[in-house]
Structure 1
Amino acid sequence: MLQTNQLLIQLMLYVFLPLWGIAGFVDWCCHRATRIEHTSGLKESLIHSLMGIQMAVPILLCLLFKVNVLIMLICIAAWLAHELVAHYDVHYAAPKRHISLWEMHAHNYLATLPLYMLLLIAVINYPVVVKLLTFNWQGEFYFQRMPYAHGGDTYLPYYLGFMAVVCVLPYMEENLRCLKVALKQRKVNA
């Protein structure tokens, strides 16, 4: 079982997490191509940032701390919130701008990968899921730092650097681009 868990952890660390970042970058490219700053604007761009934060929190918690009932509850709540916001995002954006086939494919990955990761976390931490479902939560509400980050001491800095390049910086640029246009339009309308 331990070897299977290690393989599942490796799958998440080296396939699912990077793939999620790449899908986010493709999504950003699609937003840029449709000139989001002139269509759905700052509101949609901020929604994208919110969704990134909604997934970043549980990812970091699982990379830094031992998974217990508290962490599992946070992961489930973050996933549910992400799903609600993602639905609202498409509902808001669809009438305002073209959503290309590439963007729809990126959304497929952005929506399914968090679910797959949540399910793998549940499988790897099956005893925690049993405690969660049986409401055996006594002593489960704490953060216990892992003696090492999953993937060794070097994984987290490399992963955070990768995500900064493919997601954080591009979406910050999108927010700034949309903010500039929104401010310019506000001046014109004033």
Structure 2
Amino acid sequence: METQTLLIHALLYLFLPLWGIAGFADWCCHRATRIETTSGLKESLMHSLMGLQVGIPILLCLLFRINVLVLLICLLAWVLHELVAHWDVHYTAPRRRIGIWEMHAHSYLASLPLYMLAMILILNWPVVLDLVRLEWAGQLRLERLAEPHGGERYLPLYLTFMAVLCVFPYLEENLRCLRHSLSERSDRA
């Protein structure tokens, strides 16, 4: 198997699913520590924001040709994800116990996006050179691929997988935290 194909398969069938599994493990840790009664809605919303910061670049890379615009979005999203991740732990640590399993989940949630970004950069090295040389002409628009990476069946399967492992659990976490926050406010009133 050619190296480029091997890297693409590693991204699609190893790293992307592992990111979802790590996100689910993190959600399980939040649930076990009753996040709604400790760090609450603010932390939960940070988790949703971080999911979007990685999810949007993933969708862009699956659906569109990788060009300078897509790389800029991926790089910016990764930097913002790292900043929010730091803010998340800084905010949470004094409010809620972050156990060893959650720390392991965090290590995957932080490293997998970096590994995926590195692989995307390697796979699209000529575009990286254009980015660095500021040769951006014609590369600042989204160009839809005729067929998404992984084929027509991959994207619906992956999105379903992520909905079950991450989207629905984190929506539940947000709602649980919101309900608890509203309940506390009404108790104080």
Q: Smaller-chain TM-score range?
A: over 0.9
1:133 corresponds in structure 2 to: 132
Q: How does 1:137-152 map to 2 (within 5 A)?
A: 137-152=136-151
The total of aligned residue pairs comes to 189
**Aligned-partner residue type, residue 4 of structure 2:** N
**Aligned ranges for residues 35-50 of structure 1 at < 5 Å?**
35-50=34-49
Equivalent positions of 1:5-44 (< 5 A) are 5-44=4-43
Give, in angstroms, the shift of residue 175 of structure 1: 0.3
Q: Secondary structure at the match of 2:2?
A: helix
- The runs of at least 4 consecutive aligned structure 1 residues that moved more than 3 Å come to none
Distance in 1, Cα, partners of 2:49 & 2:161 = 19
Matched AA of 1:13: L
> Where in structure 1 are there 5+ consecutive unaligned residues?
none
Once the two structures are overlaid, the 10-residue window that deviates more, 137-146 or 82-91, is 137-146
TM-score, with structure 2 as normaliser: 0.99
User: Structure 2 matches for 1:5-154, cutoff 5 A?
Assistant: 5-154=4-153
CA distance in structure 2 between the aligned counterparts of 1:148 and 1:21, rounded to whole angstroms: 23
User: In structure 1, the residue corresponding to 2:162 is in which secondary structure?
Assistant: helix
Residues 9-41 of structure 1: CA deviation (Å, up to 9, x unaligned): 100000000000000000000000000000000
1:74-125 Cα offsets, whole Å, 9 max, x none, are 0000000000000000000000010010000000000000000000000000
2:157 is aligned to 158
Name the amino acid aligned to 1:97. R
1:128-177 C-alpha deviation (Å, 9 max, x unpaired): 00000000011111111111111111000000000000000000000000
Residue 178 (structure 2) aligns with: 179
* C-alpha distance in 2 between matches for 1:49 and 1:109: 16
Question: Percent identity, aligned pairs only?
Answer: 64
Question: Alpha-carbon deviation of 1:4?
Answer: 1.1
Distance in 1 (CA, whole Å) between partners of 2:74 and 2:4 is 19
1:28-83 deviation line (CA, Å, top 9, x unaligned): 00000000000000000000000001111100000000000000000000000000
| Structure 1 range deviating more: 143-152 or 28-37 | 143-152
Aligned partners of 1:178, 1:188: CA distance in 2, in Å? 15
Residue 3 of structure 1, CA deviation:
2.0
Matches of 1:56 and 1:29, distance apart in 2:
20
